[in-house]
Amino acid sequence: MVTEPPRRRRAFIAVGSNLGDRGATVRGALDALDAAADIEVRRRSSLYTTAAVGGPPGQPAFLNAAAELCTTLEPRALLERLLAIEQRFGRVRSVPNAPRTLDLDLLLYDDAVVDEEGLTVPHPRMHQRRFVTEPLAEIAPDVVHPLLGRTIRQLDDALRQQDAE
């Protein structure tokens, strides 16, 4: 009997850091993902500096990026891997939107829609956050949000227009 190789899926993640050596942390986290046997980092966006949104006042600015992954992991297993890498880079969860060494968010997983305890894909607020749409539009402008039916470029353009008003 011939065993089929695991199916490779395309996923997109957001990466952020606002504590410590932000650039080294973001690059290190993406390198750690790429070093895993079941994940390949296909594309990385540029790094974007953005003000912290929500959370305690006076936080340092974030360094944000997005990446395209190719993986054989299912969404839950990929999320668990992202959380493990956050911990490896010193992430401590306290109050919501608190400063953090590393934040890895699963944004999209192929065109899947997942709504489970602790896992929602597409990320429920990605289309409301320019610090997500801008780097994602750099590497995946024509990818369509499976619930909104709009491309990442269209979502980013809408946020840019809101910011200009």
Q: Is 105 a catalytic residue?
A: yes
Q: Is 93 a catalytic residue?
A: no
Contact 70, 10 (CB under 8 A): yes
Q: Is 110 a catalytic residue?
A: no
58 Cβ partners below 8 Å, 6+ apart?
Answer: none
What is the enclosing helix (H) or strand (E) of 13?
strand 9-17
In DSSP terms, which residues pair with 40 in a beta bridge? 70
Catalytic residue chosen out of the listed positions 81, 91, 129, 130: 91
Catalytic residue chosen out of the listed positions 44, 81, 100, 129: 100
Catalytic residue chosen out of the listed positions 103, 129, 130, 156: 103
3-state secondary structure (DSSP) of residue 159: helix
Q: Is 88 a catalytic residue?
A: no
Q: Tell me, what amino acid is at 25? A: T
Catalytic residues: 91, 100, 103, 105
